Structure 1
């Protein structure tokens, strides 16, 4: 009986969390961001304040989910490693729906390359636009230019090289976007390994298809990937990006295999 009650509570709490997230984004868009715009005519200041507010709001959301008993989060070490980082390309694997929320909750100065779908999402489209996150659905040269500008301004560029959530128990498949940005911006990559056990909120699952027990969600920052050897060995940027992508895949695969032994 207690197990059943706990399960039903977590289903309810999951629905409540996503409702809160959506309504929170809508409230920020309708009531908070307009005030920021009125009192901050400078677009750069407005962008900085909006991004920091998103960081704090999403940090609250992570704490909210933990308080409801949906997840147990182990993020403190990663938070200490990421809170002072500036001008880095941060890459991560992508096992769950909340990865970007959890990661940006740890990074005060975060920018993000986001898919076109979020720019059309009823609850989040105003959030990503006011924050001036980078839309991945644009000309490649313009995308690289925007990424380089963001890095030069000291923001950390959050990218998920898989482009979509990982399929559980399947080899990871990477797109070349992150590697292309790193090569063409000549910027090293800072990898973050995300683990969620048991799996939940994957691409194949509905929000209410929760695991039999509370999920443990953790992040760890690993050694920075130096892109210089790839650029020096392959003067052709496309070839360099392809080789770097394969290296990222190897790093992710090896590190995720370590998670299975923890």
Structure 2
């Protein structure tokens, strides 16, 4: 009986969380961001303040979900490891729907390459536009130029090499976008490994298809990937990006196996 009550509560709390997230994004867009724009005419200042506000709002959202009993978040070590990181390309695996929220909640100065769908999302389109996140639906040269600019400004660029959420029990498939950006911007990659046990909010699950117990969500930062050997070995940038993508995939697979071992 208690299990059933807990399960029903977590379904309700999950729906409440996503409703809160959507309405929160809309309220920020309609009432808070316009005030920032009104008192800050410099577009760079507006962008910086908007991104910091998103960082703090998403911190609140994670605390809200934990308080409701949906997740237990183990993020403190990752928070310390990412503290003071500046001008880095941060890559991560992508097991759940909330990965980008969790990661940006740890990084005060974060930029992100986002899918075109978010630019058209009713609740979030104003958020990503005011924050001036990078739209992945643009000319490759322009995309690289924008990525290089944000790194030079000291922002950390968050990218999910898979491009979409991982399909459970299926081989990891990576796109070459993150590697191409690293190679052409001559910037190393800082990997973050995300684990969620039991799995929830995956690509094949509806929001209400929750696990039998509260999910434990954790992150850990691992050793930075030096791209210099790939550039020296392969003079062609496209081939270097391909080899780097294969290396990232191998790391993600190895770290996934480590997570499985830890859980056992």
TM-score by length of 2: 0.99
Q: Distance in 2 between matches of 1:256 and 1:224?
A: 17
State the shift of 1:162 in Å. Answer: 0.1
Question: 4+ residue runs of structure 1 moved beyond 2 angstroms?
Answer: none
- For 1:261, what is the secondary structure of its paired residue? helix
Partner of 2:204: 204
Count of aligned pairs between the two proteins: 262
Partner of 2:124: 124
Q: Deviations over 1:134-160 (max 9, x none)?
A: 000000000000000000000000000
Partners of 1:3 and 1:185 lie apart in 2 by 51
Q: How does 1:17-32 map to 2 (within 5 A)?
A: 17-32=17-32
Instruction: Work out the CA distance in 1 between the residues paired with 2:234 and 2:261.
Output: 36
Q: 1:219-249: per-residue Cα shift (whole Å, max 9, x none)? A: 0000000000101111111000000000000
- Structure 1 residue aligned with 2:57: 57
1:174 deviates by 0.1
Q: Cα RMSD between the aligned structures? A: 0.4
Residue 111 of structure 1 aligns to a residue whose secondary structure is: strand
Q: Say whether 1:108 aligns with 2:115.
A: no
- Aligned residue for 2:261, secondary structure, equals coil
Deviation at 1:61, TM superposition (A): 0.2
- 3-state secondary structure, aligned to 2:253: helix
> Equivalent residue of 1:141, what SS?
helix
2:238 counterpart residue number: 238
Deviations 1:152-206 (A, max 9, x none): 0000000000000000011110000000000000000000000000000001000
After TM superposition, give the deviation of residue 68 of structure 1 in Å. 0.2
The secondary structure found in structure 1 opposite 2:158 is strand
Rounded Cα–Cα distance in structure 2 between residues aligned with 1:89 and 1:161: 11
Which residue is 1:43 aligned to? Answer: 43
Separation (CA, whole Å) in 2 of partners of 1:118 and 1:70: 24
Separation (CA, whole Å) in 2 of partners of 1:248 and 1:52: 29
Measure, in 1, the Cα distance between the counterparts of 2:244 and 2:185. 14
Name the residue aligned to 1:195. Answer: 195
What is the distance in 1 between the residues matched to 2:194 and 2:257?
12
Deviations 1:198-219 (A, max 9, x none): 0000010000000000000000
In structure 2, runs of 5+ residues without a counterpart are none
SS in 2 for 1:211: coil
Q: CA deviation at 1:83?
A: 2.2
Partner Cα distance (2:93, 2:52) in 1: 23
Partner residue, 2:156: 156
Query: TM-score scaled to structure 1, two decimals?
Result: 1.00
The answer to whether the aligner puts 1:33 opposite 2:33 as a matched pair is yes
**Which residue number in structure 2 is paired with residue 255 of structure 1?**
255
